[in-house]
Amino acid sequence: MNALVAPEHLPAILTPEKTALLARLAEGLAPEELYWVAAWSASRAGQAQRGASPADAHAGTATAPRLTILYGSQTGNAKRLAEQLAARSESAGMPVRLLRADAYPQRDLAKESHLLIVISTQGEGEPPDDARGFVEFLAGKRAPRLPGLHYAVLGLGDSSYPQFCAIGRQLDARLAELGADRLAPLGEADVDIDQVAVPWSSKALEQAREALGTPASAARSATVHALPTRNTHSREQPFAATVLANQRIVSRDSERAVHHLELSLEGSGLRYAPGDAIGIWPTNPPALVEQWLQALRLDDAQEVTHGGRTLPLAQWLGREREMTRLTRTFVAAHAAASGHADLMRVLRKENAASFAELLASHQPIDLLRRYRAAWRAEDLVAALRPLTPRLYSIASSARAVGEEEVHLTVARVEYDAYGAPHWGAASAFLSSAQEDATVPVFIEANDRFRLPADDSRDIIMIGPGTGVAPFRAFVQDRRETGARGRNWLVFGNRHFTRDFLYQVEWQEALKAGALHRLDLAFSRDGAEKTYVQDRLREQGRELYAWLEGGAHLYVCGDANHMAKDVHATLIDIAVAHGGHSPDAAREWLADLLTQGRYARDVY
Ligand code: NAP
Instruction: Tell me, yes or no, whether 454 lies in a domain.
Output: no
Q: What is the pLDDT of residue 3?
A: 38
Output the domain CATH number for residue 490.
Answer: 3.40.50.80
Same domain for 203 and 244?
Answer: no
pLDDT at 4 over 80: no
Residues forming beta bridges with residue 416, ordered by sequence position? 421
Distance 467 CA to ligand 1 centre (A): 7
pLDDT at 54 over 70: no
Domain annotation covers residue 37 = no
Q: Whose CA is closest to atom 31 on ligand 1? A: 558
Burial of 140 (0-12, 13-18, 19+ CB in 10 A): exposed
| 465 and 439 share one domain | no
Q: Is the CB of 466 under 6 A from ligand 1?
A: yes
* Mean pLDDT (whole number) for 569-580: 98
CA of 560 to the centre of ligand 1 (A): 10
User: Binning pLDDT at 50, 70 and 90, where does residue 15 land?
Assistant: low
Structural domain ending residue among the three candidates 198, 214, 230: 214
> Binning pLDDT at 50, 70 and 90, where does residue 32 land?
low
User: Which of the 8 DSSP states describes residue 385?
Assistant: P
Same domain? 411 vs 488: no
What local confidence, expressed as pLDDT, does residue 219 receive?
75
For the segment 193-214, the average pLDDT, to the nearest whole number, is 92
* Per-residue CA distances from 297 to 50, 375, 380 (Å): 71, 9, 12
Spatial separation of the C-alpha atoms in residues 386 and 155, rounded to whole Å: 19
- Nearest atom in ligand 1 to the alpha carbon of residue 410 is 41
Q: What is the CATH number of the domain that holds 412?
A: 2.40.30.10
pLDDT at position 216 over 90? no
CATH of the domain at 320: 1.20.990.10
Same domain? For 130 and 277 the reply is: no
Q: What percent of the chain has a predicted confidence (pLDDT) above 90?
A: 78
Number of C-beta neighbours around residue 508 at 10 A? 12
Q: In this predicted structure, what is the pLDDT of residue 220?
A: 66
Task: Report the pLDDT averaged over residues 346-352.
Answer: 93
Give the per-residue pLDDT at 55. Answer: 34
Residues near 556 by Cβ (< 8 Å), separated by ≥ 6? 393, 449, 461, 462, 463, 467, 468, 469, 470, 471, 600, 601, 602
Residue-wise pLDDT for 584-602, tens only, equals 999 999 999 988 999 999 9
Give 178-242 as a DSSP string.
TT-EESSPPEEE-SSTHHHHHHHHHHHHHHHHHHHT--GGG--SS---SS----SS-SSS-EEEE
The pLDDT assigned to 45 comes to: 57
Ligand 1 test: best mutation among 562, 566, 603, most atoms within 8 Å of CB? Answer: 562
Residue type, 119: I
- Are 412 and 515 within one domain? no
Residue type present at position 566 = V
Q: Among the atoms of ligand 1, which is closest to the Cα of residue 395?
A: 40
Q: Are 355 and 249 contained in the same domain?
A: no
pLDDT at 160: 73
User: Mind listing the pLDDT tens digit for each residue in 90-139?
Assistant: 889 999 999 999 989 988 999 999 999 999 998 889 999 899 999 999 99
Ligand 1 centre distance from Cα of residue 392 (Å): 14
- The residue to mutate among 466, 524, 572, having the most atoms of ligand 1 within 8 angstroms of its beta carbon, is 466
For the chain, the domain total comes to 4
Q: Is 554 a pocket residue for ligand 1 (Cβ < 6 Å)?
A: no
Tell me whether residue 21 is in a domain: no
Nearest CA, atom 8, ligand 1: 493
Per-residue pLDDT at 161: 78
- Count of residues in the chain: 603
Looking at the structure, do residues 355 and 247 belong to the same domain, yes or no?
no
- Would the pTM of this model clear 0.85, i.e. be above it? no
Please say whether the beta carbons of 446 and 600 come within 8 A: no
* Percentage of the chain modeled with pLDDT above 70: 88
Is 440 in the same domain as 581?
no
| pLDDT tens digits for range 502-530 | 999 999 999 999 999 999 999 999 999 99
- Ligand 1 atom closest to the CA of 529, numbered from 1: 47
Separation between Cα atoms, residue 291 and residue 368, nearest integer Å: 10
Over 50: is that where the pLDDT of 226 sits?
no
Question: Taking residues 43-56, what's their average pLDDT?
Answer: 44
- What's the pLDDT score for residue 14? 61
Using pLDDT thresholds of 50, 70 and 90, give the confidence band for residue 308.
Answer: very high
Best of 558, 561, 569, 570 to mutate for ligand 1, by most ligand atoms within 8 A of CB? 558
Ligand 1 in contact with 423 (CB < 6 A)? Answer: no
How high is the pLDDT of residue 134?
94
**Do 398 and 375 sit in the same domain of this protein?**
no
Quick one: pLDDT at residue 31?
A: 59
In this predicted structure, what is the pLDDT of residue 192? 83
Which residues fall within 8 angstroms of residue 441, CB to CB, at 6 or more apart? Answer: 233, 238, 239, 240, 241, 263, 265, 270, 278, 279, 280, 281, 406
Give the residue, by CA position, lying nearest to ligand 1 atom 38: 467
The closest of 279, 308, 441 to 381, measured between CA atoms, is 308
Range of the domain at 523: 459-602
CB neighbours of 171 closer than 8 A, spacing ≥ 6? 117, 119, 135, 138, 153, 155
Q: Is 393 in the pocket of ligand 1 (CB under 6 A)?
A: yes
Burial of 174 (0-12, 13-18, 19+ CB in 10 A): middle
What is the Å distance from ligand 1's center to 563 Cα?
10
**Lowest model confidence (mean pLDDT) among 19-28, 117-126, 301-310, 435-444:** 19-28
**CB of 397 shorter than 6 A to ligand 1:** no
CA of 165 to the centre of ligand 1 (A): 25
> How many angstroms does the Cα of residue 355 sit away from the middle of ligand 1?
25
517 C-alpha to center of ligand 1: Å? 21
Does residue 221 lie within any of the structural domains?
no
The β-bridge partners of 354 are none
- Atom 17 (ligand 1): residue with closest C-alpha? 562
Taking the C-alpha atoms of residue 72 and residue 498, their distance in angstroms, rounded to an integer, is 39
Residue 97 to residues 87, 354, 375, Cα–Cα distance (Å): 10, 44, 48
Least confident of 4-8, 307-311, 328-332: 4-8
What ligand 1 atom has the least distance to the C-alpha of 494? Answer: 9
The reply to whether 346 and 421 lie within a common domain is no
413 and 329 in a single domain? The answer is no
Helices (H) and strands (E) counted in the chain, each on its own, are 23, 21
Helix (H/G/I), strand (E/B), else coil: 312 = strand
Q: Single out the residue of 465, 464, 423, 412 nearest to residue 569, CA to CA.
A: 464
Distances (CA, A) of 494 to 168, 229, 393, 526: 37, 41, 21, 10
Q: Provide the b/e sequence for 406-427 (b: ≥16 CB within 10 Å).
A: bbbbbbbbbeeeeeeebbbbbb
User: Is the alpha carbon torsion for 219, 221, 225, 231 positive or negative?
Assistant: positive
Q: How sure is the predictor about 215, in pLDDT bands with cuts at 50, 70 and 90?
A: confident
Cα of 239 vs centre of ligand 1, distance in Å, is: 29
Contact 392 CB / ligand 1 (< 6 Å): yes
- Is the pLDDT confidence value at 58 over 50? no
Q: What residue type is assigned to position 569 of the chain?
A: T
**What number does the ligand 1 atom closest to the CA of 524 have?**
47
Q: Is 146 near ligand 1, meaning CB less than 6 Å away?
A: no
Q: pLDDT band for position 487 (50/70/90)?
A: very high
Q: Is residue 108 part of a domain?
A: yes
- 432 CA to middle of ligand 1, Å? 21
Q: How far is CA 262 from CA 241, 242, 243, 316, 319, in A?
A: 10, 9, 6, 28, 23
Distance 247 CA to ligand 1 centre (A): 20
Residue 23 lies in a domain: no
Residue 33: band (very low, low, confident or very high) from pLDDT cuts 50, 70, 90:
low
Q: Give residue 562 CA to ligand 1 midpoint distance, Å.
A: 7
Segment 293-319 mean pLDDT: 97
Is residue 298 domain-resident? yes
Which of these three, 214, 247, 270, is where a domain ends?
A: 214
Query: Are both 257 and 349 inside the same structural domain?
Result: no
C-alpha pair distances (Å), 523 with each of 414, 498, 537: 21, 12, 15
Q: Yes or no: say if 89 and 227 are a contact pair by the CB < 8 Å rule.
A: no
**Is 228 part of any domain?**
no
Compare 186 and 229 and report the one with higher pLDDT. 186
Where in 397-540 does DSSP place strands (E)? 405-411, 414-417, 420-423, 438-444, 459-462, 487-493, 517-522
